[in-house]
Every structure is written in structure tokens, then in C-alpha cells.
Amino acid sequence: MKKKIENMKYNISEAFELPRDIIMDLPKLTVLGDKEASLLNHKGIIEYTKETIRVNTKSGIFKITGEDLEIKTILAEEIIIVGRIKNIEIIS
Amino acid sequence: MLAIKIWNYFKGYVIIRVEGLTLERLLNLAASHDIYLWDVKRINNIVLEMKSTTRGFKELKKIVKKVGCRVEITNKTGFPFLLMKLRERKMWVGGFLLFWAIIFFLSSLIWKIDIVGNEQTPREEIISLLKNNNITVGKIKYRLDKEDIKDLLIENYDYFSFVSVNIKGTKLTIEVKEQDLPPERVDKNYPCHIVAKKKGVIVKVVPKNGKAVVEKGKVVNPGEILITGIITSEFGGETHLVHAEGEVLALTRYSSIIREPIVKNEERFTGKTFTQKGIKIGDKGIQFMKGDIPFENYKEFVEEKSLINLEKYDIDFPIKIVTYEYREVELKEVKQNIDFLKNANQIAATKEINKELPPNAQIQSKNIRHQIDDNILTTQVIIETIEDIGKKLIINNRED
């Protein structure tokens, strides 16, 4: 049932060319080189160390690994991570 | 982001240290409670360092209790905290303000008075006149009225044709232009030279005081010294200054050229007119076109009228109705009599020279030349006169 609604939402947004990240509440990750990553629509931090940051989202867990990672800003919708990013993984 | 940072600086923010095991949960709770945290740094396994607004910190304290962490402030930065610090260092703040006050005060005084262009008026006299009217070094420059100084100088020296007063930084510069004075009127207490006021060939030098430095037949340029007021005694080599006086007669030349076309276009209105209207708002105008102007040769007359007449109240209403009127003209070629034209040109040129001639000049010769090129008659009138070209120039009028 839930899957059906999701599918419908996807189809509607596809048909009307609406931004999918807003309609379906999906995370949006923007990476700037290896220096900065900003993640919109997150659902909370699970782990935060200098080497690994794991963030919960609707599409699963985003795992960002690297060196000297630091949370530049944390807001209800957005997290900005700076440092040297080496690996981005989505664990669903 | 920069705007937020500046805002935070003015509101003040704290750098805090949180110790605990469930730090991620704390961050999530803070985010969901709309507490703005930034620059979150992991120090070690159980310690985080972050920045927060003062208000955010107060709210964070409540959450911290729930999560079971410990929080402490390591540093306070921002404008409100800076003020608090400064309140404890009153002398330092006082010194800082005093420094600026002194700088401001000293730079608002007049420190130097410069007078430029006074050739026949002694500098000391102008300075003392200003002093009598309370304008000296050390006065506050904002209290000086430039117009007053101008009026004062023009009233006291009727031969000043132009006075400009300028205050730049701490320097008061007075620039004057003098008319040439008759030599008798220059103050005899001050040493002076006699210099040439125009170009000429020296005919005769009669020094009454001072020493002539030019001889008969020499060509002199304006500003050249004719009779010097610096006298070197023959034996000792000592110099002393005198008020030079004397007459310097020189041959001077005046010339004037007038060009006049022989065939002339004369314009005459035919009486036909064509009008167009337009609106002008401020400096920008719109012209309502009603077809092209039907004349080949015409003159344009523009008349502006305010939409609402407020002239009584001295207000220039910015919206105006503009009437463009084009009047047709007829061009007619008129050939003029050459002899008549030559005569007219000659009179015009002589008149022009007469304006320049000083009253006591003796006319030696008059030369007239006519030349016809294509359509233009060129007439040159040259008049040679003998006149006194001496002008007194006070020595050491400048301070430097």
C-alpha cells in the first residue's frame, strides 16, 4: 500500500515536472569537490567522528568517510559537512 | 552565510564544550528544537566543541539534562561580550576616544594661510587685514565663512578682479587676481621690481630708483625684470632691497584679424510654421511626432510650460509641456561689395585693438593688409605703439 502511494507520488511529480526532492521528501546531497557536502532533508545523525559521519534519511543511511570531517552547520533540514571527503555510500 | 555570521557577531555567541556518550542524539534534538549550532568539532570520543548563540545555549541546557551530557562554556565572543570587557577597561576606552577627539580637533584648525597671485599687494598687509578680522592660524575652519573672506578682500582692495578662497585640509588658500595698478599706488614701504606686463622692444629705460637690467633694443617677454630692486654694492658684494621706480618705454605691437565671407547666406522667415507637442519629466522628454517637418530649411523654437504653475511658491514643477515650433526660413545668397566690406572689416579690427590699447600709448604706425581667399576676405590690422610697459612686483611676497 505504502509503496503504491510512493509510486503515485513519483509519477505525479514526473508528469508535472515538480522537484522530486520536495514532493517525495527525498534527501539531496550536493558535493563540492572533496571539501564540502551538504545534505538536505535528513532525518538525524547516527554517528559522528572525525573519520565517519552517518546520517539517516528516507532513502537509507548516508555514510560519508574521510579525514578531519566537521559539521559546519546543522539545521532541521540541512547538514553541511566540511573536511576531506573520500567516500560516500548509501546503505539502504 | 556571511550575513548570518555578522548578525551572530553582533548578537554575541559562545563556544561550548559538550561531554557525553550520546552526542549525536544531542545534535539531532538541537536541530529539531531549532537551535542553530555551527562549527561542530569532534575533539575525542566523548567531547564535542561547537558554537551557539547565547539564546540557543540557554535552550540547549534543557536538552543536555534530558540526554545526560555535561556542557560548559569555553569562550564568549561577539560584540556584547566585547562591550562587557571594555567596561572593565575604562581608561583604555577613554584613551582611544581621546585619541580620535584630538585628531579630529587638530585637523579642524587652520594651520597655514597661503596667498597666491598677489604681485602688487604685500603679503603682510593681507595677513594683517585677515588678522584684524579674526582670521588667523589656529582658528576652527568650520567657523570661517569663505564668502565673508571674499567680500572682505574685495571691499578692501578695489583692484582685485578675482578672489577665491579654498580650505583644503588644514590649509587656507586665498587666490587673487589683480588688475595692473598705476605705479604710484603700490605701497612704497616694500621693495619691488619693475617687470614687463607685455611683450615689446625696449626703446628707453629711465630708472628713478633701482638698477636697469635691460638695454635699448632688447625684446622682453611678460614677467621679465626691467628694473631690479635688488642692488649689489660695488665693493662689498652686499645686497639690499629697494623700491624700484622708473619708466620703461617699449615698442609694442597689436594685431587683429577679421574674416568675413563675401557671398553671404541671408535667412528670412517665410511665415509658415509647424508645431509639435511633447512632455518633459525631469530631464527626460517625449516628443509626440506628427509626421516629418515639411520644410527643408527651418529654425527650431522650444517653449516649456509647467503643467501646474507653482512659480508663486518658487517651486519648479518637474512635469512640463513642451511646444516645439518650426519656422520655415528662406536662404538667399547675397554678394557684398568688396570695397565696402574692406572698409567695414578695417573699422571692426581697429575697434578691437582700441579696446586693448592703454590710454597713454602713442601710436607709431598702422598697417592694414587685405587678402581674398575663395569666398573669404581676411583683413589684418597691425598697430605699433610706444608705451610704458613697467609693472611693479613686490619682492618676496611668498613665504617660502
CB contact under 8 A, B37 and A72: no
Backbone angles phi, psi at B177, to 5 degrees: -125, 125
Supply angle C-alpha B177, B183, B186, rounded to 5.
65
Q: How confident is the model at residue B400 (pLDDT cuts 50, 70, 90)?
A: very low
Q: Is B267 on the interface with A (CB under 8 A)?
A: no
Supply angle C-alpha B304, B310, B313, rounded to 5.
135
Answer whether residue A4 shows pLDDT above 60.
yes
Mutate to test the interface with A, among B28, B32, B43, B63 (most CBs of A within 10 A): B28
Task: Return the C-alpha torsion angle B135, B141, B143, B146, nearest 10.
Answer: 70
Chain A residues touching B49 at Cβ < 8 A: none
Q: From CA B153, how far away is CA B123, in angstroms rounded? A: 13
Q: According to the model, what pLDDT value does residue B11 have?
A: 86
CB contact under 8 A, B31 and A74: yes
Q: Which amino acid is at B43?
A: I
- Mean pLDDT across chain A: 87
Q: According to the model, what pLDDT value does residue B399 have?
A: 46
Q: Over the stretch B320-346, which tens digit does the pLDDT of each residue have? A: 788 888 888 888 877 778 888 888 888
Task: Find the residue in B nearest to A77 (Cα).
Answer: B31
Q: Is B27 on the interface with A (CB under 8 A)?
A: yes
Do residues A61 and A71 lie in contact, with contact meaning Cβ atoms separated by under 8 Å? no
Task: Provide the shortest C-alpha distance from residue A84 to chain B (in Å).
Answer: 14
Give the Cβ contact number of residue B181 at 10 Å. 15
What percent of chain B is modeled with pLDDT above 90?
A: 7
Chain A residues touching B41 at Cβ < 8 A: 70
DSSP H or E run through A7: helix A2-16
Strand pairing report for B112-116 and B171-178: parallel
B389: closest CA among B212, B181, B198, B182? B198
Q: A26-91 adopts what CATH topology? A: Immunoglobulin-like (2.60.40)
Cell representation of residue B153: 578682500
Selected residues 95-134 of chain B with any CB under 8 Å from a CB in chain A: none
Q: Over the stretch B81-129, which tens digit does the pLDDT of each residue have? A: 888 888 888 899 999 999 999 999 999 888 988 888 888 888 888 888 8
Chain B residues touching A70 at Cβ < 8 A: 39-42
Chain A residues touching B24 at Cβ < 8 A: 44-48
Q: Helix (H, G, I), strand (E, B), or coil: what is residue A14?
A: helix
Chain B residues touching A74 at Cβ < 8 A: 27, 30-31, 37-38, 40
Based on the number of CB atoms within 10 Å of its own CB, is B242 exposed (0-12), middle (13-18) or buried (19 or more)?
middle
Cell representation of residue B34: 531549532
Task: Provide the shortest C-alpha distance from residue B83 to chain A (in Å).
Answer: 27
Cell representation of residue B142: 568650520
Do residues B176 and B152 lie in contact, with contact meaning Cβ atoms separated by under 8 Å? no
Q: Which amino acid is at B370?
A: H
**List of long-range contacts for B366-375, beta carbons under 8 Å, 24+ apart:** B370/B342, B370/B345, B372/B262, B372/B338, B375/B261, B375/B262, B375/B263
Q: Over the stretch B307-318, which tens digit does the pLDDT of each residue have? A: 777 767 777 777
CB contact under 8 A, A74 and B37: yes
Chain A residues touching B40 at Cβ < 8 A: 48, 70-72, 74
Q: How far is CA B378 from the centre of its chain?
A: 40
Residue scoring higher pLDDT (B290 or B158): B158
Chain B residues touching A44 at Cβ < 8 A: 24, 28, 31
Q: According to the model, what pLDDT value does residue A87 have?
A: 94
Answer whether residue A85 shows pLDDT above 90.
yes
Chain B residues touching A49 at Cβ < 8 A: 42
Q: How confident is the model at residue A62 (pLDDT cuts 50, 70, 90)?
A: very high
Answer whether residue B282 shows pLDDT above 80.
no
In the predicted model, what is the mean pLDDT of residues B389-397? 77
Q: Over the stretch B170-221, which tens digit does the pLDDT of each residue have? A: 889 999 888 877 666 777 777 888 888 888 888 888 888 888 888 888 888 8
Q: What is the CATH number of domain B2-83?
A: 3.30.70.260
In the predicted model, what is the mean pLDDT of residues B5-22? 87
A84 DSSP 8-state letter? E
Most confident of B21-35, B90-104, B370-384: B90-104
Residues of chain B with CATH 3.30.70.260: 2-83
Q: Is B24 on the interface with A (CB under 8 A)?
A: yes
Q: Is B67 on the interface with A (CB under 8 A)?
A: no
CB contact under 8 A, B31 and A50: no
- Mean pLDDT across chain B: 83
CB contact under 8 A, A48 and B40: yes
Selected residues 36-65 of chain B with any CB under 8 Å from a CB in chain A: 36-42, 48
Chain A residues touching B32 at Cβ < 8 A: 76
Give me the residue from A50, A72, A73 closest to B42, CB to CB. A50
CB contact under 8 A, B27 and A70: no
Q: How confident is the model at residue B236 (pLDDT cuts 50, 70, 90)?
A: low
Q: According to the model, what pLDDT value does residue A10 have?
A: 79
Q: According to the model, what pLDDT value does residue B396 have?
A: 66
Q: Is B32 on the interface with A (CB under 8 A)?
A: yes
Q: According to the model, what pLDDT value does residue B397 have?
A: 55
Chain A residues touching B28 at Cβ < 8 A: 44-45
Q: According to the model, what pLDDT value does residue B183 have?
A: 65
What percent of chain B is modeled with pLDDT above 70?
A: 96
Q: Over the stretch B60-82, which tens digit does the pLDDT of each residue have? A: 888 888 888 888 899 888 888 88
Residues of chain B with CATH 3.10.20.310: 112-178
Q: Over the stretch A7-49, which tens digit does the pLDDT of each residue have? A: 887 788 778 877 777 777 788 999 999 999 999 989 889 999 9
Residue scoring higher pLDDT (B340 or A83): A83
CB contact under 8 A, B39 and A72: yes
Domain B112-178 matching CATH 3.40.50.720: the answer reads no
